Amino acid sequence: MCGRTACALAPDDIVGKCTYQRRSSGQREKPVWRDPPGGQKYYPSHNIAPASHTPVLLSSKHYGDELEGVAERVIQPMKWGLTPAWHKGDPYKIEYETNNCRAEGMLTKRTFKVPLEKGRRCVILAEGFFEWKRNEKVKQPYYIYFPRSGGEGEVKEEKLDIKSEIKLESISVKTEVKSESADSQLLDQIKQEDGGVTQVKSEVKAEVKAEPEDDNLKSEVKSDVKAESNNNEDLTGDKLLTMAGVFDVWNPPDGGEPLYSYSVITVDASPAMAWIHHRMPAILQTDEDIDAWLDSDNVPLHKAVKMIHPIEGVTMHAVSPVVNNSRNKTPDCVKLYDPKKPKTTAASSFMMNWLGKSKRSDSDTDKVSPAKKPKSAT
């Protein structure tokens, strides 16, 4: 399921993060930004709800000769919530939800099957999306995104300790890794390059203690590696999240401007996500996957759907409940949040201020002027 996303970047910044290798020349280039027809607008926001217009990546072939030779990819904002081409009536009022398209039914349900067979495949762009973990009493929101390391990382939920010892040349290195996954690939996160040790693909915290076997070179080295910084800029990720989608074009009966709209394709959640929710967006991790999904001319649908599956390469952190209200669109929606800390409400803030004023007032009454000496009897 995907019910809320975040993308607070300006169009130029979005375009700059979506460079790709042009098939005809092999050179890297930027996609073309195209405003949606009909005067619709994309508004950057840290909290985007369905029915909004959000950036969508698609092949320029969908525009005929208009962009031939200019660019192979286009970014155009579209309405979140697919309006089928055959829909009658208000395009914003659909009898059933089309914000998401379950992968299991995308080739059987007419709403999605028809545009997919027409090659209307797209990639929804966002800095991240939100999901809610349901407990008995509360729903805790989480922000999910690609890590800054370039798209691969581990979900931040510490569940087990993995200890491994490796020996490189004359240095014995003991590494303690805290991670939520028992995937053996964690051991591949340490590799040897030119006699040195390079930490790669790490969304982990590692403490390394190196003890040279040579008594004359004995020293102790300690380093904390934190792939996820406490800096809020780092927490927002560097690479845009790229979610597979299907779009359609609805033309009004009066001959007005067409409406472009989309659905996010969803799949069963991977182990990395399942502890929060049982569904997740179908995320395309590599540019090769994105290219194949968009290239409906050369990659038939039955091959393209093989790229629709759960992935592990995302990370996340808890965020404030302010994101629950879609009218809240500030950066607080994506900032790191500790659910265990006492929550400050408007009422509690008012009470604390009132108590503070009361204490100051009591203190002032204690500081009275010295009493005047009584007049001596004459």
Question: So which residues are the catalytic ones?
Answer: 2, 131
The residue assigned the tokens 């059987």 is 108
**CA distances (Å), origin 150, targets 1, 281, 286:** 24, 19, 10
The Cα 45–Cα 112 span in angstroms is 27
Give the contacts of 236 (CB within 8 A, at least 6 positions apart): 127, 128, 145, 334
- CA angle (265, 268, 274) in 5-degree steps: 125
Give the contacts of 81 (CB within 8 A, at least 6 positions apart): 50, 51, 92, 94, 97, 98, 99, 261, 262, 263
Q: Are 153 and 203 in contact (CB under 8 A)?
A: yes
Dig out the tokens for 332 from the structure.
């607080």
**CA distances (Å), origin 329, targets 4, 88, 239, 303:** 11, 33, 21, 39
Tally of residues, the chain: 378
Residue type at 52? S
The Cα 58–Cα 17 span in angstroms is 15
